[in-house]
Amino acid sequence: MSICAPIGVWGGTFDPVHFGHLRTALELCQQLKLGQVRFVPCQQPVHKDRVYATAEHRLAMLQLACAEQSAFYVDDRELTRNTPSFMIDTLISLRKEFPSIPLALLMGSDAFVNLPVWHRWQQLLHYAHIVVVNRPGYRLEVGSKLQSMLDKHKLDHANGLGRQLAGGILIQTTTALDISATLIRNQLRANLSPRFLLPDAVQAYIQTHQLYS
Ligand code: ATP
């Protein structure tokens, strides 16, 4: 029996946000009948060496990108707390805010294969489901610990997300878009246009503020 449309949670640096994030989020929203997708930019990334644009710029670009998509919501909770951007803390705070709505942590296959280095990674499923999408160039090759988590929690169908608040892992196929923020930053540095890889409004914001040059 369905409880309520799940909320998708999409964490990242979004440095900058691009169509790989946005198109994938839209397809997941439609395929999984999510009530909304919350984009959660991190303050200081825990699993990357550095960010290139400030948190304020990354947030502003996300707000521009999500402005016309009513199911997309920009959630700045990691930017307003003074602790490392651990996803487990974000999920705990979302669970408090939405005690009876399923949460689905959305991520690309590149992020999922590295899950065992995340802080308290085995507890993520206490607070949310995990939905993994294919990302070009990253095969879903998991180590033994992650494989046993997958064996125990894998869902056969998206309907499983609505039946419980948390605890399932769904592997979902979306249109493969080989776009990354790294590619866009490299193009800008080389004085090449990144047009059609990201929203025009985000590209204009980058130009106005002379980011990534
Ligand atoms: P960078 O190139 O700077 O490492 P990125 O493009 O990978 O950045 P992030 O903000 O680090 O973007 O990614 C956040 C989340 O979005 C991760 O779960 C990642 O797997 C996912 N993601 C990013 N790009 C894509 C894409 N093209 N297709 C599917 N998922 C993606």
**What CATH number did the domain enclosing 149 receive?**
3.40.50.620
CA distances (Å), 81 to each of 54, 63, 113, 149, in order? 15, 19, 27, 30
- Give the structural domain span for 128: 7-208
128 in a domain, yes or no? yes
Ligand 1 pocket mutation pick from 134, 180, 183, 186 by most atoms within 8 angstroms of CB: 180
Asked if residue 182 has its Cβ within 6 Å of ligand 1, the reply is yes
No. of helices (H) and no. of strands (E), the chain:
9, 6
Total count of domains within the chain: 1
Taking the CA of residue 109 as reference, the ligand 1 atom at the shortest distance is 20
- In angstroms, the CA 78 to CA 15 distance is 15
For residue 152, is it within any domain? yes
**At 178, is the secondary structure helix, strand, or coil?**
coil
* Within a domain: 65: yes
**Spatial separation of the C-alpha atoms in residues 199 and 35, rounded to whole Å:** 23
What's the gap in Å between 83 CA and the centre of ligand 1? Answer: 22
**For residue 76, how far is its CA from the centre of ligand 1 (angstroms)?**
18
Spatial distance between the Cα atoms of 188 and 184, rounded to a whole number of angstroms: 6
Q: Is the CB of 78 under 6 A from ligand 1?
A: no
pLDDT in tens, 123-179: 999 999 999 999 988 888 888 999 999 999 999 999 999 999 999 999 999 999 999
Give pLDDT, residue 3.
62
pLDDT at residue number 197:
98
Residue 126 covered by a domain? yes
Atom of ligand 1 nearest to the CA of 17: 10
- Confirm whether 32 is domain-assigned: yes
- The answer to whether the beta carbons of residues 109 and 132 sit under 8 Å apart is yes
- Taken as a whole, the chain contains a residue count of 213
Strand arrangement of the beta sheet that strand 72-74 belongs to: 72-74, 36-41, 7-12, 103-108, 129-133, 169-172
CA 106 to chain centre: 5
Residue 80 lies in a domain: yes
Quick one: pLDDT at residue 44?
80
Total-model pTM: 0.96
- What is the 1 CA–ligand 1 centroid distance (Å)? 33
Contacts of 94 (CB under 8 A, 6+ apart): 7, 9, 38, 77, 103, 127, 128
pLDDT computed for residue 84 by the predictor: 85
Interval 32-74: pLDDT, tens:
999 999 999 999 877 788 999 999 999 999 999 999 899 999 9
Coarse DSSP helix, strand, coil percentages of the chain, rounded to the nearest 5 percent: 40, 15, 45
Backbone angles phi, psi at 103, to 5 degrees: -110, 140
pLDDT tens, residue by residue, 9-31:
999 999 999 999 999 999 999 99
Is 1 a member of any domain?
Answer: no
DSSP secondary structure letter of residue 138 = B
Helices 55-66, 200-208: axis angle to 10 degrees equals 150
- Domain membership flag for residue 2: no
Maximum CA extent, the chain: 53
